[in-house]
Each structure stands twice: as structure tokens, then as C-alpha cells.
Amino acid sequence: MSRLTEVVKHLLIINVLIYFGATMLMPQMNLSEIDHRVLYLFYPGTEYFQPFQLITHMFMHGSTSHILFNMMSLFFLGPMVEQSLGSKKFLMFYLLCGFGAMLLHLGIDSFSAVHVPVVGASGAIMGIFTAFAVLFPDTKLMLLFPPIPIKAKFLMIGLIAFDLFSGVSGISTGIAHFAHLGGVLAGFILMLSWGYVKRP
């Protein structure tokens, strides 16, 4: 495992501070009738939407398990990607993947009668997964369930297939699958435009 890099370290700190600060302090401060969910991204034009949510939703999470999974992924995969891209480009990549996730989610959500707020760094993390699979396709990653090693390129294909199937089928999983796919798409476009994708 690579040493912890600067941007990854600061992203970990920011995400953890915002999550625990919001969940522990905001309800007691009565900042909003929806408490810490004020940092979620609500659909633009709806009652609870605020412009700052376009940023804050990428650094807030819906549960401890949610932030734990995302931050573990960032901790283990992020340093190798940051070392390959460079710190400035890596930070830009992370944020643009988060915005790509948001845009696809909002675009798909615009066709829905019920708008569901989105929260979390998952879109940006899926972008990191994509970059890792592009840069280190044959590196084996150990899954938690089941605990078996699998090459990064095959794991990425599996994650995309799962999100695409779940999103199109409309299965209720509590996961913003199209946001995940937006992060993947943004990540791949960036890696392609920056010349990291090997052309046949």
C-alpha cells in the first residue's frame, strides 16, 4: 500500500469532520427543521434546496457505514492515483467526478415525479475506482464480500454492471446508482482526455 498522500489525507479529514460535526452538532443547534440533512443535495427548485448543497453534498454522508466504505476506498486507492496524476490534477479529478455524478443524478431525477436527495462522496470515489482500473488494471484488490482477490479492471466492470442494472431496473437499494455511473463516466472521460487510457 502506498503512503498516505497530501490531498487524500485532507479529503479524509474534511469528510470525517463534516459528517460527525453535522450529525452531532446541527440537530442540537436547530439550524434547520431537517437538521444535518440541510447539507444533502435536494433537487433544485424544491423546498429544501440551497445553492451550497451543490458542494456540501459531496462531503456529507448518510450513515456511518456510508462514510466508512467511501473513506476506506479513498484511503486504499487514492494515494496510488494521486501519485500517478499529481496532487493538483488529482484534486481536480476528484471534484469533477463528484460534479459529474451530481449532473447525471439530477438529469435522471428530472424525469421522476418524486425527487430523492443525494448525499455522499460515492460519485467521486467511483471516479477514483475508474482511474485506478485504468492505471493499474491488473492489480488485484481484495473484496470484503466475498473475501477474494480480483483484478481492478474486472472489479470495475462488475461495479458498473451492478449500478447500471440496479439503476435501470429501479430496484430500491438506497443507493444513487446513476450518481455512481456519473462518477465513472466523468472519470473515464478525464483519464481519456489526459492521455492515460491506452488506445488499441
| Segments making up each domain of the chain, as ranges | 6-193
pLDDT digits (tens, 9 = 90+) for 28-54: 544 445 566 788 999 998 888 999 999
Look at residue 29 in the predicted model and tell me its pLDDT.
45
Q: Tell me what the pLDDT averaged over the chain comes to.
A: 89
Domain boundaries 6-193, CATH class: mainly alpha
Which residue type, as a one-letter code, is found at position 183? Answer: G
Give CA 158 to chain center in angstroms.
Answer: 17
Look at residue 11 in the predicted model and tell me its pLDDT.
98
pLDDT digits (tens, 9 = 90+) for 74-89: 999 999 999 999 999 9
pLDDT interval class at 1 (50, 70, 90)? low
Is 22's pLDDT higher than 90? Answer: no
What's the rounded mean pLDDT across residues 134-147?
Answer: 87
Consecutive H or E run containing 140:
strand 140-142
Give the rounded percent of residues in the chain with a pLDDT score beyond 90. Answer: 66
With a CB cutoff of 8 Å and minimum separation 6, the contacts of 122 are: 66, 70, 101, 175, 176, 179, 180, 183
What's the rounded mean pLDDT across residues 53-82?
Answer: 94
Give CA 104 to chain center in angstroms.
Answer: 13
Measured between alpha carbons, how far is 24 from 8 in angstroms, rounded to an integer? 24
* Planar angle of CA 42, 47, 50, nearest 5 degrees: 55
C-beta atoms surrounding 155 within 10 Å: 18
